[in-house]
Amino acid sequence: MIDYPSSFADIKIDETIKLIVLDVDGTIWENSFNPNRNPPFTRTESGDLLTGDGEVIKLNPGLLELLNQAKEKGVICSLASIGDPDIVLSIIEKFQLKFVYPQLGWNGKDVMIEEILRKLELEDGIKLSDTEILFIDDDEKELMKVGERFPGAKLVKAP
């Protein structure tokens, strides 16, 4: 089952959630997928980001509050997103966002989440079940695919 909140502020992290995995394009930031983004990436006075191509990238309203809520509750945050890792991580760094074992590339997001779980267990000794995962994406097909692989995960369509 997919939840459809009207805003990031409506996403509540309960005590069962130990890992939040977010998509990037259309989820962390408002902008849709653009495989041709180029550096340099610079922050504007308004806090947005300007690419070398002149695209303005804006974080989705309420995202920072959601990440702060997760931090306060000790919830791990990671990424599973399609795209060039070097480009995406450069943008994430410019926004001063931190994620654990971000997975970026061309694999399916279900495969990326599996890799996040593997790294958490191998590197940090943290073993999580699918009922402890919250996955947020703007693409319903990706949500459904992740839900098939992790039937207990909480799935949220990005507002």
What pLDDT is stored for residue 90 in this prediction?
A: 94
What pLDDT is stored for residue 36 in this prediction?
A: 83
Residue indicated by tokens 């931190």: 98
What pLDDT is stored for residue 46 in this prediction?
A: 93
In eight-state DSSP terms, residue 9 is G
User: 132 CB contacts (<8 Å, ≥6 apart)?
Assistant: 16, 17, 18, 19
What pLDDT is stored for residue 140 in this prediction?
A: 96
C-alpha of 67 from chain center: 10
- pLDDT tens for the chain, 159 residues long, are 999 999 998 998 999 999 999 999 999 999 988 878 999 999 999 999 999 999 999 999 999 999 999 999 999 999 999 999 999 999 999 999 999 999 999 989 999 999 999 999 999 999 999 999 999 999 999 999 999 999 999 999 999
What pLDDT is stored for residue 35 in this prediction?
A: 79
In 5-153, at which residue ranges do the beta strands (DSSP E only) sit? 19-22, 42-43, 49-50, 56-57, 76-82, 103-105, 133-137
What pLDDT is stored for residue 66 in this prediction?
A: 96
Residue indicated by tokens 């977010």: 22
In eight-state DSSP terms, residue 60 is P
Side chain identity at 74, as an amino acid letter? G
